[in-house]
Amino acid sequence: SLPLEPGLVSQGLILDEAQLADKLKELFKLEKVTMGKVIAGLSGHNSVYRIITLPELPEPVLPEAVKREAKRVIPVPLDEVYLSYQPLPATRGETRVFLAAFPRNIADALYRTLHQAGLQPYIMDLAPLALCRTVNEPRSIIVNARLDHLDIMVMAERVPELIRRLSLPGEAESLSERLPTITEEVDRTIAFYNSSHQEQPLDSTVPMFVCGDLAQAPESWQSLAGKSACPVSILPSPVESPEGFNPNEFMVNIGLAFKELLPEKGEANFSLVNFNALPEVYITKAVRLSNILVPIGLTIAIGLLVYMGFLVYNKATYISVLRSELAPVESLIAQEH
């Protein structure tokens, strides 16, 4: 990784696309990595996540039904966000859908920057969802604390039931200064979840995993557990890492890689949510074979018609010439008789 100068990115939005594209080129050259297709991750800033329930619907009408419901449950105008969704396991007679809405300007800026750097993003994801994908537990709480933001995710039955991303006070530089705010928000998240899931609340049986700055401060974990008394531990990496490499700093990257890496047999507790958030406008349309063959067929047919036309014309001309030459001969024969 390379450090970024202040002012290049603010709250997930790329402000200087050209300079950041140059940084990416420099990084790929430094690491001797071939430029090409990449899986891109959005910060998740100002993103909204919902689990919606609809009547049981046939697949062809689901997109329109999801869009209609999104207008009701997403608290921002839909022309300002992109929507991505994925059907979830549901009981007979209903359709459950995981829905994500994220700012268009943030996604567009990321795509343009990557393209300018010579990269081709073919899959896109949101950082909180990538983190959820690294956890091999059906129920858990994930807390990711960074210098300027905090992510809290609640997993239930392998689905991110609750996702919160909060900005942290800029004046609080050390973790100890940020810890009271982090603890308060974790307690608030657990209380909010339990109030609407009284039949199966978050309790001492649900593990809490920490990453980011909290991973380096185990002395802070006890205060995070709060009234729930959840066992707190570092978020374990689902993949083996070389010696000297700290995977906890790159858990989002690992989660992005897991979009295409299948878990080992028997490990069936990773997140069920795994859709491609790349906006449809940027997805390269597969060229149908008929789209190629039909124009070729028409061209060949037209060519044959033209060729046949020339043949007919040439034969007609030839016959006309023969007839003109035949007239004097017929006249001579008539005179002889």
Across 229-257, average pLDDT: 92
Q: Determine how many CB atoms are found less than 10 A away from the CB of residue 173.
A: 10
Across 232-236, average pLDDT: 96
Domain boundaries, the chain: 1-126+268-285, 137-235, 289-337
Under the banding of pLDDT at 50, 70 and 90, the label for residue 1 is: low
Across 309-327, average pLDDT: 45
For 1-126+268-285, give the CATH class: alpha beta
Across 141-152, average pLDDT: 94
Name every residue whose Cβ is closer than 8 Å to that of residue 203 and which is 6 or more positions away in sequence.
228, 229, 230
Q: Do domains 1-126+268-285 and 137-235 have the same CATH topology?
A: no
Across 181-186, average pLDDT: 94
pLDDT of residue 265: 54
C-alpha separations of 179 from 64, 92, 163, 168 in Å: 43, 45, 19, 10
User: In the beta sheet, which residues pair with residue 81?
Assistant: 103
Q: Which of 172, 257, 243, 164 is nearest to 213 (CA)?
A: 172
Instruction: Determine the 3-state secondary structure of 298 from DSSP.
Output: helix
Is the pLDDT at 323 greater than 60? The verdict is no
CA dist 118 and 128 (Å) reads 26
Q: Which of 280, 289, 47 is nearest to 151 (CA)?
A: 47
Instruction: Determine the 3-state secondary structure of 238 from DSSP.
Output: coil
Span 8-45, pLDDT tens digits: 999 899 999 999 999 999 999 998 999 899 999 999 99
CA dist 262 and 16 (Å) reads 36
The pLDDT mean for the chain works out to 85
Instruction: Determine the 3-state secondary structure of 219 from DSSP.
Output: helix
For 137-235, give the CATH class: alpha beta
Is the pLDDT at 304 greater than 70? The verdict is no
Q: What angle do CA 77, 81, 82 make, to 5 degrees?
A: 135
